[in-house]
Amino acid sequence: MSGSSVIWSGILPQPVPIFSFLFRIVLSALVMAAAFSYSVSSANGRAKLLWSQEQGPYRIDVSILPGQAVVANTHLSILIISLASGEPVTEANVALSGTGPEGSTAFGPIPAPNDFNPQFFETNLPFDLAGEWEVTVEVASELGPAVMVVPMRVREGGSSINWILIAALAVVIVTVGIWTWDRVSGKKQPESVG
């Protein structure tokens, strides 16, 4: 023998059970799907500021999610700041209405409550047609009323398919298939003596 020797302890390494391995893969896929998805309640943190204007006793900031207004999938978030104190207004009635291009359906007034975060008045806008829209924001609080018009260019939205959820489901199906295949192909037929 040449200078190296192999010592065998007689104990073979134990493979990780396939079920445990597959469970980890499925769990990782579900965690990633949850991390990449978003909810309407967290929209104001990732919304894009579209319009900011001083109107009456307020500065009104209008933000949208996604970054551009799209048909059937635009979330609006409104932050109202008192010009007198510089503080956010949390007690107000906010309503939105909109008119769009020829052939579209006008909407409103739609209330924008601040149920999820007291500083942000939020709602979804039911744009039904791409084109130029005017969204009227009406604010009323103890400081007084204000109305402002926000022009929006609405484009066709992308697919409403949640690809992350579909990918997670595909991982689960493949995992179950591999686990089943391993169970079925791993069984050995008894040898016949004879």
Q: Which residues pair with 48 in a beta bridge?
A: 64
pLDDT at 178 over 70: yes
> What's residue 156's pLDDT?
84
> What's residue 179's pLDDT?
76
Task: Classify residue 33: in a domain, yes or no.
Answer: no
| CATH number of the domain within which 140 lies | 2.60.40.2480
User: Distance from CA of residue 184 to its chain's centroid?
Assistant: 40
Number of domains in the chain: 1
pLDDT at 192 over 70: no
Task: Classify residue 193: in a domain, yes or no.
Answer: no
Task: Classify residue 168: in a domain, yes or no.
Answer: no
Instruction: Find the range with the poorest average confidence among 102-106, 114-118, 145-149, 158-162.
Output: 158-162
Please write the tens of the pLDDT for every residue from 13-60.
555 566 666 677 777 766 665 555 444 334 445 678 878 899 899 999
> What's residue 42's pLDDT?
42
Q: Average per-residue pLDDT in the chain? A: 78
Please write the tens of the pLDDT for every residue from 74-84.
888 999 999 99
> What's residue 38's pLDDT?
42
> What's residue 113's pLDDT?
93
> What's residue 5's pLDDT?
65
Task: Classify residue 101: in a domain, yes or no.
Answer: yes
- The stretch 134-161 carries a mean pLDDT of 86
Boundaries of domain holding 73: 41-154
22 or 129, greater pLDDT? 129
